[in-house]
Structure 1
C-alpha cells in the first residue's frame, strides 16, 4: 500500500505544478485536515483547514500570497498509513516582491486510499519575515 500512496502524492505534486487543484481535492477525504503548521496571523497560508473546502482555501491563500518559482519534492518514504516527503521551494511574495527559498517536509496520512490529513512543515518564521518585509527592501531571504 505504501507504494500506491507514494504514487498518489506524486500525482498530487504533478497536479499542483499544473495548477490542477480539483485533481488534488479529488483524492482527499471529505473530512480532511489540511495545512501548513504555523500561525495564520504570521503568514496567511499557515494554519490547519478542515474539509475539502478548507483545503481549497489553503491553495487560494497560497496563490494569493506568493508566486512559487521552484517546487522540488525530492525524498519520499512511507509506511502503511503515511507518506513523508522532503523537498525545497523558492518563491516571491506577491505583496512586496521579496524572494526566498526554504526546505520543507510534508506528511500525508491516508485512510481507505485517500488523503485524510496533510501537514506542511517549514520555516514559517522565514516566510513571515518575507511576507511582512518592507516592499522597498526587496531583499532575498533563504534557509
Structure 2
C-alpha cells in the first residue's frame, strides 16, 4: 500500500473540510479529470470536469446543491498510482430541504510527480436525483 499517496489524499480531505478549495485544486495537475460520475441533469454537481477550473466549478455546484451535515472518509487503500476511499455522507438538498445520506467510493489517480490527475466520486446518483428533484420537505410533510 502506498502510504504517501494516502497521506496526500487525507490532506486533500482536510483542506476540503476547512473549505480551502484553493488548497485542494493546488494538488491537481492542470489537465486533471475531476468530478462525480453521473449526469448533470440528475444533480448539478454530477459529471466529470477538466482541470483546476473544472474542479473549482464542481465544488461550487456541490456547495450550491447540498449542505453537507457530515462527510466521513472511512477506509483507504492504494496501489502505485491510485487511492481508493470508502466513505459516508449525510446531506440536505438546499433547494428543497430534503435530507439524506449515502455511502460513496472516491478514486484518486496520481502522476509520478505526485500531482492528482484524476478524481472520480461514485455513489447512488439515483438517490441524489430523487432527493434533488423532490418537492420541498414542507410540502411533502403536509401531504403525508
SS of the residue corresponding to residue 140 of structure 2 reads: coil
**Structure 1: which 5+ runs fail to align?**
139-143
Is 2:111 aligned against 1:108? no
Paired position in structure 2 for 1:67: 67
The answer on 1:118 being equivalent to 2:122 is no
Normalised to the residue count of structure 2, the TM-score between the two structures is: 0.94
Which residue in 2 is equivalent to 1:141?
A: none
- Counterpart CA distance in 2 for 1:29 and 1:3 is 20
**What is the aligned partner in structure 1 of residue 34 from structure 2?**
34
1:76-91 matches, cutoff 5 A: 76-91=76-91
Partner of 1:129: 130
CA RMSD of aligned residues (A): 1.0
The number of equivalent residue pairs is: 138
TM-score with structure 1 setting the length: 0.94
Whole-angstrom CA distance in 1 between matches of 2:2 and 2:28? 16
Higher helix share: 2
- Whole-angstrom distance in 1 between the partners of 2:79 and 2:89: 25
In the aligned structure 2, how far is the partner of 1:60 from the partner of 1:49? 12
